[in-house]
Structure 1
Amino acid sequence: MVIGFFKKLFNIRDRNEQVRFTGITAAEKRQQAKPQIPVIEVTEKQAVESQLDLSTLFYSFLFISPYTTTTGIANNLERSVIQEIELALSSPKSIAENVLKLPSKILELDKKLADDNIDIQELIQLIEQDPLLCVEVLKLCNSPAFKRADNDVNSIQQALVQVGRQLLRQFITTCLARELIDIKPIYFRRFGAEIWRHSMQVAFLASELASADQRDSAFLLGLLHDVGKIAIFKMLVDAFYQAEPGEQPSSMLFKQVMTTKSLTLSALLARHWQLPQHVETPLSLLANTNIKPTDDMTLLIWKANIISECSMLQQVDKLPQPALIVLLTQVDLSEQEFAALHQKLIKF
Structure 2
Amino acid sequence: MPGFLSWLTFLFNPAQTASSTAAPQRPDLEAVTSCLPSPQIDGRAQLEMQLFCWLLDTDIGGLEAADEREKAVFGEMERRLHDGHIHLPRQPLTLPMLMRALSDQNADRKRLEKIILADPAVTSQTLRMANSPMFRRSEHDIDSVDQAIFVLGIHGIRSVISASVMQPMLAARNSREAVFARRVWQWALSCARSAEQIARIRGQDGSVWFLLGLLPALSYLTLMRELQRIVLARNLDTAARPALIHKALAAHQWALSQLLATEWNLPPHYLSCLLEAEKLSPRANHSPLADGLLVGTREVLAHADQPCLDAESLPGLVDLTPEQLLQLRYTLPLLKG
User: How many Å apart are 1:136 and its aligned residue?
Assistant: 0.8
Question: What is the distance in 2 between the residues matched to 1:71 and 1:153?
Answer: 46
Partner-residue secondary structure (3-state), 2:205? helix
- After TM superposition, the structure 1 = structure 2 runs for residues 56-71 of structure 1, keeping only pairs within 5 Å, are 56-65=49-58, 68-69=61-62
Query: 1:100–1:56: structure 2 CA closer, same or farther, 3 Å change rule?
Result: farther
- 1:79: which partner in 2? 71
- 1:235: which partner in 2? 226
User: How many Å apart are 1:88 and its aligned residue?
Assistant: 3.3
107-116 vs 207-216, which moves further: 107-116
CA offset digits 1:133-153 (Å, max 9, x no partner): 111111111112211233211
Aligned partner letter, 1:294: R
Matched length? 303
> Is 1:55 equivalent to 2:63 in the alignment?
no
- 1:292·1:299 contact (CA, 8 Å) conserved in 2? no
- 1:65·1:249 contact (CA, 8 Å) conserved in 2? no
Question: What is the distance in 1 between the residues matched to 2:60 and 2:284?
Answer: 38
Question: What is the distance in 1 between the residues matched to 2:57 and 2:63?
Answer: 16
2:241 to 235, 244, 249: 249
1:308 to 278, 284, 296: 296
> Is 1:226 equivalent to 2:217 in the alignment?
yes
- 2:316: which partner in 1? 329
User: How many Å apart are 1:281 and its aligned residue?
Assistant: 0.5
Query: 1:134–1:329: structure 2 CA closer, same or farther, 3 Å change rule?
Result: same
Aligned partner letter, 1:151: H
79-88 vs 148-157, which moves further: 79-88
User: How many Å apart are 1:69 and its aligned residue?
Assistant: 4.4
- The gaps in structure 1 that reach 5 residues or longer are 7-11, 13-37
Question: What is the distance in 2 between the residues matched to 1:163 and 1:316?
Answer: 27
User: How many Å apart are 1:320 and its aligned residue?
Assistant: 5.4
Percent sequence identity is 21
> Is 1:299 equivalent to 2:287 in the alignment?
yes
Question: What is the distance in 2 between the residues matched to 1:301 and 1:331?
Answer: 11
- The gaps in structure 2 that reach 5 residues or longer are 1-27
- 1:88·1:265 contact (CA, 8 Å) conserved in 2? no
Question: What is the distance in 1 between the residues matched to 2:98 and 2:175?
Answer: 32
Query: 1:185–1:81: structure 2 CA closer, same or farther, 3 Å change rule?
Result: farther
1:347 to 310, 331, 334: 334
Question: What is the distance in 2 between the residues matched to 1:110 and 1:197?
Answer: 23
CA offset digits 1:244-276 (Å, max 9, x no partner): 44555233x752442232112212332233211
CA offset digits 1:151-196 (Å, max 9, x no partner): 2111111112221122112211211122322431112112111111
Partner-residue secondary structure (3-state), 1:145? coil
Question: What is the distance in 1 between the residues matched to 2:32 and 2:132?
Answer: 40
- 1:193: which partner in 2? 182
Query: 1:157–1:263: structure 2 CA closer, same or farther, 3 Å change rule?
Result: same
Question: What is the distance in 1 between the residues matched to 2:258 and 2:101?
Answer: 25
- 1:206·1:304 contact (CA, 8 Å) conserved in 2? yes
- After TM superposition, the structure 1 = structure 2 runs for residues 276-291 of structure 1, keeping only pairs within 5 Å, are 276-288=267-279, 291=280
- 1:103·1:176 contact (CA, 8 Å) conserved in 2? yes
- 2:157: which partner in 1? 168
2:256 to 241, 265, 281: 265
Question: What is the distance in 1 between the residues matched to 2:81 and 2:282?
Answer: 22
Aligned partner letter, 1:318: Q
Partner-residue secondary structure (3-state), 1:151? coil
Aligned partner letter, 1:148: R
- 2:108·2:154 contact (CA, 8 Å) conserved in 1? no
CA RMSD of aligned residues (A): 3.4
- 1:173·1:220 contact (CA, 8 Å) conserved in 2? yes
Question: What is the distance in 2 between the residues matched to 1:198 and 1:2?
Answer: 21
> Is 1:318 equivalent to 2:297 in the alignment?
no
193-202 vs 123-132, which moves further: 123-132
- 2:29: which partner in 1? 2
Partner-residue secondary structure (3-state), 1:68? helix
- 1:69·1:250 contact (CA, 8 Å) conserved in 2? yes
Bigger Rg, structure 1 or 2: 1
- After TM superposition, the structure 1 = structure 2 runs for residues 120-139 of structure 1, keeping only pairs within 5 Å, are 120-121=109-110, 123-139=112-128
2:148 to 147, 159, 164: 159
Question: What is the distance in 2 between the residues matched to 1:109 and 1:186?
Answer: 31
Query: 1:121–1:332: structure 2 CA closer, same or farther, 3 Å change rule?
Result: closer
Query: 1:192–1:131: structure 2 CA closer, same or farther, 3 Å change rule?
Result: same
